[in-house]
Amino acid sequence: VNSYFGIGIGGMVPLAPEIEMAPGLNLFGIYDTQSILFGIDCNLWGMSSDSRYSYADFGISAYYAFGRKFIAPYIGGGLSFSAVDYETEVSYVAEREYYDYDIQGYRTSEETEYNTYVDDKSGIGAFIGGGVMLNRASSIILLAEVKYFVSFFKLAEPKGTVTYEQW
């Protein structure tokens, strides 16, 4: 046994522009050369209904595996191409016209309105991390993995309130 394919459950916790837990699913493949693990991953994070992030990536990686036993820790990293949508709620003051029956005419009022602004970006990024492989070299394996990622692009900072013209 030296190839594995499977699915994962997990998520990401972006630190910028806003800290949030964005859970989702993963598809992966690993080729095990005894000392090095080569991996391909597809991550789909932000699938929960309350997530502001919607994220997908495709990455390739290499990890050094410690030992050759059935429990194998590994560390390494790789590169990925990712696309992300980030929603922020923006408020703005809008002038609204309404008909006033008391004066039989139109009046204007200023009202604070809210809307969702979506910033969508894509590009490449890098990640480092590690994990533990259980039941290595068997027909069923389990991996627990944590990594730190940096994408080489920025997402818009949450603005809060903008002018009507800016909106």
CA 8/CA 28 separation, integer angstroms: 8
Question: Of 50 and 97, which CB lies nearer to other proteins in the complex structure?
Answer: 50
**What is the distance between the alpha carbons of residues 151 and 142, in angstroms, rounded to a whole number?**
27
Listed as own residue / partner, the contacts of 64-68 with beta carbons closer than 8 Å and 24 or more positions apart are 64/35, 64/36, 64/37, 65/32, 65/34, 65/35, 65/36, 65/37, 65/133, 65/136, 68/34, 68/136
Cα gap 87→76, rounded to integer Å: 32
Min dist. Cβ of residue 91 to other proteins (A): 23
The string of DSSP letters for 57-99 reads: EEEEEEEEEPSSSSEEEEEEEEEEEEEEEEEEEEEEEEEEEEE
What gap in Å lies between CA 19 and CA 110, rounded to an integer? 33
127: tokens are 């990640």
- By beta-carbon proximity to other proteins, the closer residue of 28 and 65 is 28
Task: Tell me the closest approach of the beta carbon of residue 151 to other proteins, in angstroms.
Answer: 4
Give least dist CB 162 to other proteins, A. Answer: 21
Closer to other proteins by CB, 103 or 146: give it.
146
Q: Which is nearer to other proteins, 9 or 103 (CB)?
A: 9
Q: Which residues bind other proteins (CB under 8 A)?
A: 1-17, 19, 26, 28, 30, 43, 45, 84, 121, 125, 127, 129, 131, 137-155
Whole-number minimum distance, CB 89 to other proteins, in Å? 19
CB of 56 vs other proteins, minimal distance in Å: 13
